Amino acid sequence: MAVKTRDYKKFLDPVVISKLKTLELKARMVVEGFKVGLHRSPYHGFSVEFSEHRPYMQGDALKNVDWKVFAKSEKYYIKQFEEETNLLSHIFVDASKSMQFKHSGKVSKIDYATILAAALAYVMIDQQDSVGLAIYSDKIHTYLPPKSNRIYLKTLLSALNQIQPGGTTTTSKCLDSVAEKIKKRGLTIIISDFFDDMNSILTALKHIHYKKNEVIVFQILDPIEKSFGFDRDSVFVDLESGEQITTQPHQIQRAYQEAMNEYLNKLKTECLNFGIEYNLIDTSQPFDKALMSYFAKRAKMN
Q: Are residues 50 and 168 in the same domain?
A: no
Pick from 89, 116, 118, 160: which is nearest to 281 by CA? 116
Poorest-pLDDT segment among 72-86, 111-125, 218-232 = 72-86
Segment 178-209, tens digit of pLDDT: 887 777 778 999 999 998 888 989 998 988 88
Domain count, the chain: 2
97 and 117 co-located in one domain: yes
pLDDT in tens, 158-172: 999 999 998 888 888
Query: For residues 46 and 73, what is the distance between their CA atoms, to the nearest angstrom?
Result: 9
- Residue at which a domain ends, from 38, 66, 83: 83
Burial label, 5 (beta-carbon count in 10 A; 0-12, 13-18, 19+): exposed
Please indicate, yes or no, whether residues 154 and 237 belong to a single structural domain of this protein: yes
Q: Which residues pair with 221 in a beta bridge?
A: 282
Band the pLDDT of 235: cuts 50, 70, 90.
very low
In this prediction the pTM is: 0.80
Looking at residue 109, which CATH number applies to its domain?
A: 3.40.50.410
In this predicted structure, the answer to whether residue 144 has a pLDDT above a threshold of 60 is yes
Residues 147 and 14 grouped into a single domain: no
pLDDT for the residue 206: 86
Same domain, 223 and 77: no
Residues 147 and 196 in one domain: yes
Same domain, 55 and 163: no
Instruction: Tell me the C-alpha distance between 24 and 216, whole Å.
Output: 23
Pair 25, 161 in one domain:
no
Q: Are residues 26 and 174 in the same domain?
A: no
Q: How confident is the model at residue 101 (pLDDT cuts 50, 70, 90)?
A: confident
pLDDT tens figures, 43-53 = 444 443 444 56
Final residue belonging to a domain, choices 32, 63, 83: 83
Task: List the domain range (segments joined by +) for residue 139.
Answer: 86-300
For the chain, list the strands marked E by DSSP: 53-55, 77-79, 88-94, 130-136, 140-147, 187-192, 214-221, 234-237, 244-247, 277-282
| Last-in-domain residue among 52, 83, 114 | 83
- The pLDDT of residue 42: 45
Please determine, for residue 296, whether its predicted confidence score (pLDDT) is greater than 50.
yes
